[in-house]
Amino acid sequence: MSVKVAQHLDEESHRIESYLHPSTLAPLIKKVGEIRIYDQLEVIYTENPKLYVKTILDNHIEFFKLVRCFLNNDQHFIAALNKTCGNFY
pLDDT in tens, 17-44: 788 777 876 787 788 777 877 877 887 7
Q: For 43-55, what is the mean pLDDT?
A: 81
Angle 75-86/25-70 helices, nearest 10 degrees? 160
Give the pLDDT confidence score for residue 88 in this predicted structure.
66
Q: For 6-13, what is the mean pLDDT?
A: 75
- Across the chain, the runs of DSSP E, i.e. the strands, are none
pLDDT in tens, 67-88: 888 888 888 888 888 888 777 6
**Would you call 21 helix, strand, or coil by DSSP?**
coil
Give the pLDDT confidence score for residue 89 in this predicted structure.
57
If you count them, how many residues does the chain have? 89
List Cβ neighbours of 53 (8 Å cut-off, separation of 6 or more). Answer: 89
